[in-house]
């Protein structure tokens, strides 16, 4: 695999003109705000224009010259948030977004919720009509509330509505610090229009431009005694199981996880909506529903819902008598309790509240000390590895048989679609920006481990897909990576206009639409309910299908400026279509392929 792709010179498509040759001195409050955002290191700012931040908008263009941060204009507030969400995950940095006062915050709030559930750091700026009623226009009254942040206060880490320029700068710094402190998440600041358009007080204190004194604390370490107990429990186990969670989004997790797997000889499983362990790792039993019940010790690392990790919800999976669970997470430091996200209180025998990366490194150190010179323990671990390797081989064969069913069918089986797509990109330095969850065939795509897949939307907000993929692709463009993702037809329809943003800002990406002409997840639910009630499942399609007329997704994508193909319903045509799509992305274009799939 090549290390990176050179997409060529990506010049700013929107460059201000008729400005003085020298950088202008700050004259307005919003000029100082723009300078601060630049000093904070933001490269991009995702936004949809709005009059409530017209002063800041002007400063970003005519004062800081649309560079650092560069405006990335979107066409809906939900796309603003999903793009910022995807960019933060792919870049590993806090992203920056602006959404227009009350109405913009209402329409973008689902994206804020998704980011909160996904523990993704985003500094969200809003705007408000002047808090001083004497300065308000009619529309300012419509778009001003007390307090505007109440709309999202239940699913952000921190909010503020500062009334002075000094307090606004202070809020920027605090919000960025809070967002980047684990467990990470979005923060929201409402910036007053009067402060934006007002002057600069002589006594304004502008923080040190290096901002070194405003960074998050060092990662939290686990309790040393609890760490010793965890190592003892894992080494004493007959069948330990490691379930990996959100840290699978980060490439830096790959080597420590591999070392932990080697040291312990544990079975390995990915949590939902993430890829943590290599597909071909001989201890990887992702998809083996019986493993949870057989494990006598489960180590859940950075999992969103530990009950899912050891129980499986509705799968009839219960651990055997004496099963013990170790949880390594920062989730319990999360203060917000409005939503039931994260599931019920989990039955955990040992809780390690710590940064999972630091916790893994320290756990590996303790395990090495305890394993040194213990030949009997080494032999037991080696034997378990051999047994797991055979089980892994059997599991993968069974999975392959399942996803090869209906190999030549039309509409196309999702297993065939995923297989052909993988083989079209496998020699590229690819990163998967999104994938279908219910129908993604385990084993058909060879993941090398953590960092290969950026995960889903977090909160189940449909419409995340296109924006999330484009935002991630912007960060991956900067890294020379090849972005590829699969989204559902309904998801694409809700956020398809993110494709225009990708084309306009020259963000190469490959989007594949898993098009089953239905809200497929809900149609499956209707089938399940009908079966349980003894009613005809043949009616499950009513109120679910998007057909008669079919939606022409390829034409829609072309209207935004993308190269597009489809609907592709011949499985034997897929390889050539994907080959041509990859060539388009290699040349710096946006490619969209609509694949007609089986439900």
| pLDDT confidence of residue 189 | 97
**CATH number of the domain that residue 349 is part of:** 3.40.50.1220
The verdict on 196 and 288 lying in the same domain is: no
The verdict on 350 and 427 lying in the same domain is: no
The verdict on 364 and 413 lying in the same domain is: no
| pLDDT confidence of residue 515 | 94
Q: Which residue has the tokens 């993430």?
A: 274
pLDDT band per the 50, 70, 90 thresholds, residue 401: very high
pLDDT band per the 50, 70, 90 thresholds, residue 139: confident
Residue 6 resides in a domain: no
| pLDDT confidence of residue 138 | 73
| pLDDT confidence of residue 12 | 58
Residue 432 resides in a domain: yes
| pLDDT confidence of residue 317 | 58
| pLDDT confidence of residue 22 | 76
Residue 183 resides in a domain: yes
Averaged pLDDT score across all residues of the chain = 92
pLDDT band per the 50, 70, 90 thresholds, residue 314: low
The verdict on 537 and 566 lying in the same domain is: yes
| Of 384, 402, 420, the domain-final residue | 402
Rounded average pLDDT over 520-541: 86
Q: Which residues of 177-187 are buried (b: 16+ CB within 10 A; e: fewer)?
A: bbbbbbbbbbb
Domain range enclosing 395: 224-402
The verdict on 509 and 565 lying in the same domain is: yes
300/336: higher pLDDT? 300
The verdict on 349 and 418 lying in the same domain is: no
H helix and E strand count, the chain: 20, 16
78 touches 110 (CB < 8 A): yes
**CATH number of the domain that residue 206 is part of:** 3.40.50.970
Of 439, 441, 452, residue with least CA distance to 487: 439
**245's tokens:** 């969670």
Return the top range by mean pLDDT from 21-30, 97-106, 203-212.
Answer: 97-106
Residues 6+ apart with CB under 8 A from 61: 16, 71
pLDDT band per the 50, 70, 90 thresholds, residue 520: confident
Angle at which helices 375-403 and 414-425 pack, to 10 degrees? 110
Of 237, 112, 126, 219, residue with least CA distance to 172: 126
| pLDDT confidence of residue 380 | 96
The verdict on 436 and 502 lying in the same domain is: yes
- Apex 180 CA angle, 50 and 158, nearest 5: 60
pLDDT band per the 50, 70, 90 thresholds, residue 6: confident
Q: Which residues of 473-491 are buried (b: 16+ CB within 10 A; e: fewer)?
A: bbbbbeeebbbbbbbbbbb
Can you point out the beta strands (E) in 226-293? 240-244, 267-270
| pLDDT confidence of residue 373 | 87
pLDDT band per the 50, 70, 90 thresholds, residue 131: confident
pLDDT band per the 50, 70, 90 thresholds, residue 541: confident
**365's tokens:** 């150190």
The verdict on 334 and 421 lying in the same domain is: no
Residues 6+ apart with CB under 8 A from 581: 424, 510, 563, 565, 591, 593
State the number of CA atoms in the 13 A half-sphere of 415 facing the CB.
15
| pLDDT confidence of residue 188 | 97
pLDDT band per the 50, 70, 90 thresholds, residue 335: low
Residue 36 resides in a domain: yes
CA distances 433 to 89, 360, 430, 506, Å, are 9, 25, 9, 17
For residue 563, pLDDT over 90 is answered with yes
| pLDDT confidence of residue 469 | 98
Residues 6+ apart with CB under 8 A from 351: 226, 326, 327, 329, 332
Rounded average pLDDT over 236-255: 97
pLDDT band per the 50, 70, 90 thresholds, residue 72: very high
**510's tokens:** 């490959």
The verdict on 384 and 462 lying in the same domain is: no
Residue 313 resides in a domain: yes
Residue 296 resides in a domain: yes
Rounded average pLDDT over 373-379: 93
For 514, the enclosing helix (H) or strand (E) is strand 509-515
Can you point out the beta strands (E) in 31-155? 44-47, 70-73, 95-99, 122-128
Q: How many Å apart are CA 279 and CA 426, to the nearest integer?
A: 14
The pTM of this model reads 0.95
| pLDDT confidence of residue 432 | 98
Percent of the chain whose pLDDT exceeds 70: 96
The verdict on 314 and 440 lying in the same domain is: no
Beta bridge partners of 514: 488, 595
| pLDDT confidence of residue 309 | 79
Q: How many Å apart are CA 109 and CA 526, to the nearest integer?
A: 28
| pLDDT confidence of residue 517 | 86
Residue 278 resides in a domain: yes
- Cis bond before residue 196 (omega within 30° of 0): no
pLDDT band per the 50, 70, 90 thresholds, residue 310: confident
The pairs formed by 392-401 with CB atoms below 8 angstroms and a separation of 24 or more are 392/281, 392/282, 392/283, 392/284, 392/285, 393/282, 395/285, 395/287, 395/288, 396/443, 399/287, 399/441, 399/442, 399/443, 399/444, 400/443, 400/444
For residue 244, pLDDT over 60 is answered with yes
- Cis bond before residue 69 (omega within 30° of 0): yes
The verdict on 279 and 355 lying in the same domain is: yes
DSSP 4: -
| Of 166, 189, 214, the domain-final residue | 214
| pLDDT confidence of residue 437 | 78
Residue 228 resides in a domain: yes
131/581: higher pLDDT? 581
For 414, the enclosing helix (H) or strand (E) is helix 414-425
Total domains in the chain come to 3
Can you point out the beta strands (E) in 22-168? 44-47, 70-73, 95-99, 122-128, 158-160
Our CA dihedral for 391, 393, 398, 403, rounded to 10 degrees, sits at 140
pLDDT band per the 50, 70, 90 thresholds, residue 118: very high
The verdict on 126 and 194 lying in the same domain is: yes
| Of 339, 368, 402, the domain-final residue | 402
393/134: higher pLDDT? 393
pLDDT band per the 50, 70, 90 thresholds, residue 557: very high
For residue 1, pLDDT over 60 is answered with no
């Amino acid at each position: 695999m090549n290390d990176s792709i050179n997409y060529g010179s990506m010049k700013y498509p929107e460059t201000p003109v008729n400005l003085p040759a020298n950088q202008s001195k700050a004259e307005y409050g919003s000029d100082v705000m723009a300078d601060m955002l630049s000093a904070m290191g933001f490269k991009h700012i995702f936004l949809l224009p709005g009059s409530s931040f017209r002063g800041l908008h002007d400063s970003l263009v005519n004062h800081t010259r649309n560079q650092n941060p560069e405006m990335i204009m979107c066409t809906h507030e939900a796309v603003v948030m999903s793009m910022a969400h995807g960019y933060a995950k792919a870049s590993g940095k806090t992203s920056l977004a602006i959404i227009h006062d009350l109405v913009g915050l209402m329409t973008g709030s689902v994206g804020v919720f998704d980011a909160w559930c996904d523990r993704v750091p985003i500094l969200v700026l809003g705007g408000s009509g002047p808090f001083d009623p004497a300065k308000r226009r009619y529309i300012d009254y419509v778009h001003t509330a007390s307090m505007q942040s109440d709309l999202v206060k239940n699913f952000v880490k921190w909010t503020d509505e500062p009334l002075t320029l000094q307090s606004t700068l202070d809020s920027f710094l605090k919000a960025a610090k809070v967002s980047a402190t684990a467990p990470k998440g979005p923060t929201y600041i409402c910036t007053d229009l009067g402060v934006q358009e007002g002057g600069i007080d002589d006594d304004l204190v502008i923080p040190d431009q290096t901002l070194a004194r405003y960074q998050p604390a060092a990662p939290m370490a686990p309790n040393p005694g609890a760490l010793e107990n965890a190592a003892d429990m894992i080494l004493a186990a007959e069948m330990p199981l490691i379930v990996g969670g959100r840290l699978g989004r980060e490439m830096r997790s790959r080597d420590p996880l591999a070392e932990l797997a080697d040291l312990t000889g544990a079975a390995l499983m990915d949590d939902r909506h993430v890829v943590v362990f290599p597909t071909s790792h001989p201890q990887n039993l992702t998809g083996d529903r019986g493993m949870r019940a057989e494990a006598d010790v489960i180590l859940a690392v950075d999992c969103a819902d530990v009950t899912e990790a050891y129980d499986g919800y509705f799968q009839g999976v219960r651990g055997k008598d004496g099963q013990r669970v170790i949880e390594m997470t920062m989730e319990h430091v999360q203060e917000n309790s409005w939503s039931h996200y994260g599931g019920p209180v989990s039955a955990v025998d040992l809780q390690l509240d710590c940064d999972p990366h630091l916790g893994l490194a320290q756990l590996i150190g303790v395990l090495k000390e305890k394993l040194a010179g213990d030949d009997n323990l080494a032999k037991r671990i080696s034997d378990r590895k051999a047994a797991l390797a055979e089980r892994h081989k059997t599991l993968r064969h069974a999975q392959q048989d399942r996803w090869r069913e209906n190999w030549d069918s039309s509409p196309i089986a999702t297993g065939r679609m995923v297989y052909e797509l993988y083989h079209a990109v496998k020699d590229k330095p690819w990163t998967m920006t999104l994938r279908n969850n219910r129908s993604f065939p385990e084993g058909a795509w060879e993941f090398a481990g953590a960092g290969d897949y950026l995960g889903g939307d977090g909160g189940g907000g449909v419409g995340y897909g296109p924006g999330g993929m484009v935002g991630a692709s912007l960060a991956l463009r900067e890294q020379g990576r090849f972005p590829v993702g699969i989204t559902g037809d309904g998801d694409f329809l809700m956020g398809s206009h993110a494709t225009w943003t990708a084309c306009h800002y020259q963000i190469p990406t490959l989007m594949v639409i898993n098009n089953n002409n239905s809200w497929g997840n809900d149609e499956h639910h209707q089938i399940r309910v009908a079966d349980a009630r003894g009613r005809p499942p043949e009616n499950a399609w009513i109120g679910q299908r998007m057909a008669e007329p079919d939606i022409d997704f390829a034409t829609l994508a072309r209207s935004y400026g993308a190269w597009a193909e489809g609907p592709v319903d011949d499985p034997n045509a897929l390889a050539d279509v994907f080959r041509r799509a990859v060539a388009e992305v290699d040349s710096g274009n946006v490619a969209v392929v609509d694949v007609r799939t089986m439900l």
